[in-house]
Amino acid sequence: MLATPLPRHAIPYLREYIAQQQLRLVVHAPFAHIHQLIPDCGSWVALFEQLACDDAVIICHVPQLDTSTASHFQRITPAIRRYLALEHTHQAPDVFGQFAAHVNIPPIFDWQHYHHIAPWPYAPDRTLCEWASRWGQRRPLWHMSSASEHGTPTRHGATVDSSVVVWLVRSMCAAGYACDIEIESHAGIAAYMRLRREIQQKAPELAHYIHEGDTHART
């Protein structure tokens, strides 16, 4: 999944559009070990640099939490590391959080994955805020996944629970964190527009946090 270099004449226009719409470029890497993704990561970093997207994110998944995997992350170049984040998937949240801290790469909270595992104590708001603190100078990013109709965390449905979003965003604000939320839903832009309406109704004090630009590009 290599990124093709952009034509020079297109770069100024794309930079302007990204700035106007306040977009953040996010790449979801394939589910593979990090050492298998180095060529892809290098091409994505080159694209981010072409577009001056210093806040871009490369989201990696971690198939295994072991010393071998950790050693591969430790050998990643600073140019790639500055964009990396690790998405929580199937592991126990506390174990995953410890691994992310060990390799010094910020973790991404995913609501549906956390909720499906349902660890005890069940505290998604505290976990989200704790993981947000690991992002340093980078703006935290987290996933609001839609619930699967089949009850599996690897598949998404069409609806996003706005009550959960309001709860978690209020928790983030109370803890002093600003963040970006990536909506994962089969309904795409329709899910985002519905979520935006419901947030405005349920929590009008949060309405000014909602991005009003190009909603298709945002989702």
Between the alpha carbon of residue 202 and those of residues 137, 165, 185, the distances in Å are 31, 11, 21
Tell me the pLDDT tens digit for each residue of 113-124. Answer: 998 888 888 999
215 has a pLDDT exceeding 50: no
Across the range 186-194, mean pLDDT stands at 83
Token pair of 200 as six digits: 């405005």
Across the range 46-66, mean pLDDT stands at 91
62 — pLDDT class (breaks 50, 70, 90)? confident
* Of 131, 109, 15, residue with least CA distance to 59: 109
216 has a pLDDT exceeding 50: no
Tell me the pLDDT tens digit for each residue of 124-152. Answer: 999 999 999 999 999 999 999 876 655 55
Give the orientation angle of helix 189-202 with respect to helix 162-174, to 10 degrees: 60
Percent of the chain beyond pLDDT 70?
89
Between the alpha carbon of residue 57 and those of residues 48, 63, 132, 135, 173, the distances in Å are 9, 19, 14, 11, 22
Would you list the domain boundaries of the chain? 1-87, 110-219
Is the pTM value of this prediction over 0.95?
no
* Of 126, 218, 134, 147, residue with least CA distance to 180: 218
Q: Check residues 187 and 80 and name the one with the higher pLDDT.
A: 80
Tell me the three state secondary structure of residue 217. helix
Residue 65 corresponds to which amino acid? L
pLDDT at 102: 94
CB 108 within 8 A of CB 131: yes
Burial of 39 (0-12, 13-18, 19+ CB in 10 A): exposed
